[in-house]
Amino acid sequence: MPQDTQASVWAEARAFLRAYHAETNMPNLNARLRDVEAEIAECGSYQLLSAELVHGAKMAWRNSARCVGRLHWPALTVRDLRHLREPAAIFAELRRHLHLAWNGGQLQPLMSVFGPGVQIINDQLIRYAGYANGSGDPQNRALTDFLCAQGWTPPAEPGPYDVLPLAIEASGQVQLYHLVREDVREVSFSHPESPAFAGLNLKWHALPVISDMPLSVGGLQFECAPFSGWYVQTEIAARNLADAERYDQLPAVARAMGLDTRRERSLWRDRALLELNVAVLHSFDVAGVRLADHHRVSRQFVRFEARERRTGRAVQGRWSWLISPLSPALTPIWQRHYQEDAAVRPAFLKRLPGWEGAKGGPAKCPFHG
């Protein structure tokens, strides 16, 4: 390892270990620093202890400037699976991650950290295919094309919610793995006051698992560290299903609700958007699946800010990501100001989309999906 890189790793390791020991009241900081410095001098790198990795992952969530759900960072469960590097074994543990995080519908925040030399190409473990004919999720068209080029064959009759296979890369080779029905929990949507709404046949998967963001802790980078929490209803209803560039369902919702779509001044889009959010919240509640709403999560973020201030830590925040896409001015975050993304570590990083950087391209450039 070049000497300047080695010095950088040592500087980040030193800063992280000091923070870790201070926050956890762990003793023997100086001895640990000496051991790490000697290991870096001899090997060019070092190994985090499992407890250090766990706390570092929690700190990365706490530092995630784009995440409004950070109040819960201490509750993150971290699975230290760094001994696993083989794609088949990793896929088996990804399936286990989905089942553990599901937790009977009471979704629990979970991260699985795997060994070096492997990465997941998909940006989330569960993604719906996007096809050239416009069906499915247009956002995933490039990913779908990439997976087809790797050998995936779409269903004979492609649908709007075809779950894509997972592409796992190791040693420059990409292998595809298929999730089965019991791995993918989905919620079908109905409306508490409109029987016609169910006829739209809308649904979404219940568990978002971010899988393309490397975890950086103490100068070390873990390329394969999928992380899951739970959705805010606006992510599904005000973006995934509503955006014109995604599923574009507001006109269909308006028709099902009997709204006057002849004039924009009737605010039919706004009303349809609200009713779509009502339907998503209602349906997750009926299904018994954990889902945040934009009002509660905004209040929780204010509590997170206050708690961080008491510790003397500054809160990083990307305001445009923290505010709700539905009625943002009604939330307490609307009039607040935050320090824009600073280079704070530990952190989740952003790399090139897998289909562009699948052959080991460098990280370039979030947590909830």
Q: Would residue 68 count as lying in a domain?
A: no
Let me know if 230 is a catalytic residue: yes
Q: Which of the following is catalytic: 52, 61, 62, 70?
A: 70
**Confidence class for position 5, pLDDT limits 50, 70, 90:** confident
Q: Does the pLDDT value for residue 364 go beyond 90?
A: no
Domain span at residue 12 reads 1-47
Can you tell me the distance from the alpha carbon of 67 to that of 61, in angstroms, rounded to the nearest whole number?
8
- Do residues 213 and 274 touch, judged by C-beta distance below 8 A? no
Residue 307 lies in a domain: no
Catalytic residue (one of 73, 102, 204, 230): 230
User: Using CA atoms, how far apart are residues 244 and 266, in angstroms rounded to an integer?
Assistant: 19
Task: Look up 255 and say whether it is catalytic.
Answer: no
Q: Is 235 a catalytic residue?
A: yes
Domain membership of residue 13 (yes or no) is yes
Coil, helix or strand for 256? Answer: helix
Percent of residues, the chain, with pLDDT higher than 90: 91
How confident is the model over 244-266, as pLDDT tens digits?
999 999 999 999 999 999 999 99
- Catalytic residue, chosen from 52, 67, 73, 355, is 67
Residue 38 lies in a domain: yes
Give the mean pLDDT of 356-364: 38
Give the other-Cβ count within 10 Å of 85's Cβ.
16
* Domain contains 53: no
Dump pLDDT digits (tens) for 123-174: 999 999 999 999 999 999 999 999 999 999 999 999 999 999 999 999 999 9
* pLDDT score, position 2: 63
Domain assignment present for 256: no
The answer for residues whose C-beta is within 8 angstroms of residue 287's C-beta and 6 or more apart is 105, 187, 206
- Concerning whether 148 is annotated as a catalytic residue, the answer is no
Give domain status of residue 303, yes or no: no
Question: Is 322 domain-assigned?
Answer: no
Active-site annotation holder among 223, 235, 275, 305 = 235
Q: How many domains does the chain have?
A: 1
Mean per-residue pLDDT for 343-368?
61
Q: How far apart are CA 210 and CA 349, in angstroms?
A: 12
Query: 18 is written with which tokens?
Result: 């000091």
